[in-house]
Structures are given as structure tokens and as C-alpha cells.
Amino acid sequence: MIDINADIISNKSIGNVVLGENVDRYLNDMYSNHTVRFFDYFLPDDEKRMAYVVDEIITIATLSNGLIISVGCNEKYKGRYMNSLCTGMRMSDVIKLTNEQRIFNGCIIVNDDFGFSIELPTPYDEIADGIEQVPLDLVLKEMRVADYHSWKPKK
């Protein structure tokens, strides 16, 4: 069952919604116990994706066949990542609670964990190339789990 208090688990789940599973597994719970907003979208290469927004808190993104490829949450989510990070934190708190932070594609990757990201809000998702360009008092409202390992720099 979907749970906004569940731990955020890198490269695995938010709200007990698990990456790599088919969204069909969750549809009965979603439509019976939650408010769901659904929409399609297209990537720049015209590849189709679907999104399910559950209670305006959790967003489940899938491929056209229903395979879950990312799960995100906003500041209404109550669960935590690694028992410390949560949505609604300030950038200064993220820096204090993690050893390393880097920006990739408008997201913050912490501690070289390429299965979890903190989304930078506009305009910082477009203009910030380094952590030092993000204001310390900026509130970070969205987190996501997905497989970002292709972003990891080669050594």
C-alpha cells in the first residue's frame, strides 16, 4: 500500500512504490484509496512516458508499458532518506547532513548516491552548475528515486 510516511530508499522506492515494478500492481490501491491525476508526456526524442500523481504528493513515472522508472515526492511527503534528509529542508541542512553534494541535470546528488536526487527548483535547475551557486536558505521541496548511474563520472 502507498504510504507517505515510508522511508525513501535509494534506487528502490518512495511511498512503498518500487522502481522496476509495473504500475498495474498499484492501480487498485491508487484509485480506491487516493486521488490520482494521470497524464502523458514526451521526452525530447518523442519517447512517451506516463505519470501518475497520487494525492498531489507522490509522482510515479512509467514507460508506455507501465514499468516504473522513477518515483518522486514533494514537501507534503513525511518519509526520510537515510533517516535524515526530507523534503522541505534548506540547502544548508542538506550540506550539514551529507558528506558530498554535486549538481547533475538540475538535481543534487548527495554522497555519490546515483539512485536518489533532490530536485533543484526554478531557476536553479537551469543556472546552477555548482553547489556554491545554490543559496543556503533555498528550500528543497522535491526528491526522487531513479537509476541515475549513467550520470556517474567515469574514474
Alpha carbons 6 and 64: distance in angstroms, whole number: 27
Grid cell, residue 2, equals 502507498
Give 154's pLDDT tier (boundaries 50, 70, 90).
confident
| Confidence (pLDDT) at 98 | 97
Mean pLDDT of 96-106: 95
Say whether pTM exceeds 0.95: no
**Residue indicated by cell numbers 542538506:** 94
Task: Give how far Cα 11 sits from Cα of 7, 69, 108, 116, 123, Å.
Answer: 12, 10, 15, 6, 26
DSSP 3-state assignment of 133? helix
Digit-coded pLDDT (tens) for 52-66: 999 999 999 999 999
